[in-house]
Structure 1
Amino acid sequence: MRRIKGEKKRRVQQVRASTEICHGGKILIVPLEGSHWVNMDIMIKALHSRGHSVVVVRTNKSWYIQDNSPHYRTITVPVTEAFNHDFINSIIKKIIDIERGESSLWSFASLQAEMFTAMFNMHRIMCKFATNMFKDKYLMNSLNESKYDLVLTDPAWGTGIMLAHALKLPLVYNVRWITSGEGHMAIAPSPLSYIPLTGSGLSDKMTFIQRVKNLIFSVIWQAQDGFLIHPQYQAVCDQFFGPEVRYSDLLQGADLWLMRVDFVFEFPRPTMPNVIYIGGFQCEPAKPLPEHLEEFVQSSGEHGVIIMSLGTFVSELPADITNVIAAAFAKLPQKVIWRHKGDRPATLGNNTLIVDWMPQNDLLGHPKMKLFVAHGGTNGVQEAMYHGVPVVGLPVFFDQYDNLLRLKERGAATLLTINTVDKDNNFVEAIQEVLNEPSYRMNMQRLSRLHRDQPITPLDNALFWIEFVMRHKGAAHLRTESYKMPWYSYHSVDVVLSFLATVAVITFLPLVFVRYVCLEKCMKRKTNKK
Structure 2
Amino acid sequence: MAPAVVSGLLPFCVYLLLTSGAGEAGKLLVVPLGGSHWLTMRSVVEKLIQRGHEVVVVMPEVRWQLTQSLNCTVKTYVTSYTLKDLNREFMVFAKTQWKIRENNLFYLVMGSSRGIYEMMFSHCRSLFNDKKLVEYIKQNSFDAVFLDPFDMCGLIVAKYFSLPSVVFARGVFCHCLEEATQCPYPLSYVPRSWLAFSDVMSFKERVWNHLIHLEERLICSYFLKNALEIASEVLETHVTPYDLFSHTSIWLLRTDFVLGYPTPVMPNMFYVGGINCQQGKPLSKGVLANFILLL
Between the aligned partners of 2:283 and 2:79, the Cα distance in structure 1 is 43
Q: Does 1:28 align with 2:29?
A: yes
**Alignment check: 8 A CA contact 1:30 1:154 kept:** yes
**Alignment check: 8 A CA contact 1:28 1:55 kept:** yes
How many pairs were matched up?
Answer: 262
Amino acid at match of 2:200: K
Q: What's the secondary structure of 2:167's corresponding residue? A: strand
Amino acid at match of 2:202: T
**2:217 alignment partner, one of 214, 219, 222:** 222
Q: What's the secondary structure of 1:57's corresponding residue? A: strand
Amino acid at match of 2:164: P
Q: Does 1:261 align with 2:262?
A: no
Q: State the partner residue of 2:204.
A: 209
Between the aligned partners of 1:271 and 1:180, the Cα distance in structure 2 is 18
Judged with a 3 Å threshold, the aligned counterparts in structure 2 of structure 1 residues 126 and 285 are, in CA distance, closer, same or farther, namely closer
Q: State the partner residue of 2:3.
A: none
Q: What's the secondary structure of 2:75's corresponding residue? A: strand
**Structure 2, gaps ≥5 residues long:** 1-19, 285-295
Between the aligned partners of 1:127 and 1:96, the Cα distance in structure 2 is 23
**Structure 1, gaps ≥5 residues long:** 1-18, 101-107, 288-364, 368-530
Q: State the partner residue of 1:42.
A: 43
Q: State the partner residue of 2:124.
A: 130
Between the aligned partners of 2:87 and 2:198, the Cα distance in structure 1 is 32
Between the aligned partners of 1:366 and 1:124, the Cα distance in structure 2 is 48
Q: CA deviation at 1:244?
A: 5.1
Q: State the partner residue of 1:96.
A: 98
Judged with a 3 Å threshold, the aligned counterparts in structure 2 of structure 1 residues 141 and 126 are, in CA distance, closer, same or farther, namely same
| Cα deviation 1:205-254 (Å, max 9, x = unaligned) | 2222222222222122111122331x323322332222255442121221
**Alignment check: 8 A CA contact 2:59 2:66 kept:** yes
Amino acid at match of 2:77: V
Q: CA deviation at 1:64?
A: 0.9
Structure showing greater relative contact order (alpha-carbon pairs closer than 8 Å, 6 or more residues apart): 2
| Cα deviation 1:182-221 (Å, max 9, x = unaligned) | 7335421211122121221222122222222222221221
Q: CA deviation at 1:169?
A: 1.0
Q: CA deviation at 1:23?
A: 3.6
Q: State the partner residue of 1:57.
A: 58
Amino acid at match of 1:79: T
Between the aligned partners of 2:49 and 2:59, the Cα distance in structure 1 is 18
Judged with a 3 Å threshold, the aligned counterparts in structure 2 of structure 1 residues 186 and 216 are, in CA distance, closer, same or farther, namely farther
**1:177 alignment partner, one of 147, 171, 181:** 171
Q: State the partner residue of 1:193.
A: 188
Q: What's the secondary structure of 1:177's corresponding residue? A: coil
Amino acid at match of 2:142: Y
Judged with a 3 Å threshold, the aligned counterparts in structure 2 of structure 1 residues 186 and 207 are, in CA distance, closer, same or farther, namely farther
| Cα deviation 1:298-330 (Å, max 9, x = unaligned) | xxxxxxxxxxxxxxxxxxxxxxxxxxxxxxxxx
**Alignment check: 8 A CA contact 2:122 2:227 kept:** no
Amino acid at match of 1:174: F
Task: Please say which structure displays the higher CA radius of gyration.
Answer: 1
Q: State the partner residue of 2:10.
A: none
**Alignment check: 8 A CA contact 1:196 1:214 kept:** yes
Amino acid at match of 2:33: L
Matches within 5 A, 1:64-75: 64-70=65-71, 72-75=72-75
Amino acid at match of 1:194: Y
Amino acid at match of 2:53: H
Between the aligned partners of 1:150 and 1:156, the Cα distance in structure 2 is 18
Q: State the partner residue of 1:151.
A: 145
Q: CA deviation at 1:366?
A: 8.3
**Alignment check: 8 A CA contact 2:86 2:116 kept:** no
Q: State the partner residue of 2:12.
A: none
CA RMSD of aligned residues (A): 2.8
Q: State the partner residue of 2:265.
A: 271
Q: State the partner residue of 2:292.
A: none
Q: TM-score, normalised by structure 2?
A: 0.78
Amino acid at match of 1:94: T
Between the aligned partners of 2:175 and 2:113, the Cα distance in structure 1 is 11
Between the aligned partners of 1:195 and 1:155, the Cα distance in structure 2 is 23
Between the aligned partners of 2:283 and 2:30, the Cα distance in structure 1 is 33
Amino acid at match of 2:80: T
Q: What's the secondary structure of 1:29's corresponding residue? A: strand
Judged with a 3 Å threshold, the aligned counterparts in structure 2 of structure 1 residues 217 and 186 are, in CA distance, closer, same or farther, namely farther
Between the aligned partners of 1:274 and 1:163, the Cα distance in structure 2 is 20
Q: CA deviation at 1:155?
A: 1.0
Judged with a 3 Å threshold, the aligned counterparts in structure 2 of structure 1 residues 154 and 197 are, in CA distance, closer, same or farther, namely same
Amino acid at match of 1:169: L
| Cα deviation 1:414-450 (Å, max 9, x = unaligned) | xxxxxxxxxxxxxxxxxxxxxxxxxxxxxxxxxxxxx
Q: CA deviation at 1:141?
A: 0.4
**1:249 alignment partner, one of 228, 243, 246:** 243
Between the aligned partners of 2:111 and 2:129, the Cα distance in structure 1 is 27
